[in-house]
Amino acid sequence: MRQIVRVVGFTLIVVIFVGVGLAVLAALLSGRPFYGKNYLMLDLGTYDSALVLLIALAAGILIALRWAARKMRGRSH
């Protein structure tokens, strides 16, 4: 049960990031502004949102690489 909740939660987070990422990318490519809101309901501009998404993507890639490396080390012994 815990694994199912984990997979569903991870999937929902990925869907949210992909949706916001596509909206920001569409705004960047079309030259129109993207105005999002942060948790304090302050405006976030297009480039601010793109930078945050790039940082989150980099962090996600690093976490995935560390997880894969840890799994590979465990299998080699």
pLDDT bucket at 77, cuts 50 / 70 / 90: low
Buried-state track 37-58, b at ≥16 Cβ within 10 A, e below 16: eeeeeeebebeebbeebeeeee
Q: Which helix (H) or strand (E) holds 62?
A: helix 46-76
Stretch 65-74: mean pLDDT: 89
- What are the pLDDT digits (tens) for 6-65? 899 989 998 998 998 899 999 889 988 887 777 888 877 888 888 888 998 899 899 989
| Cβ atoms of residues 44 and 38 within 8 Å | yes
| Cβ atoms of residues 70 and 62 within 8 Å | no
pLDDT bucket at 73, cuts 50 / 70 / 90: confident
Place of tokens 């991870």: 10
Which pair of tokens denotes residue 77?
A: 């012994």
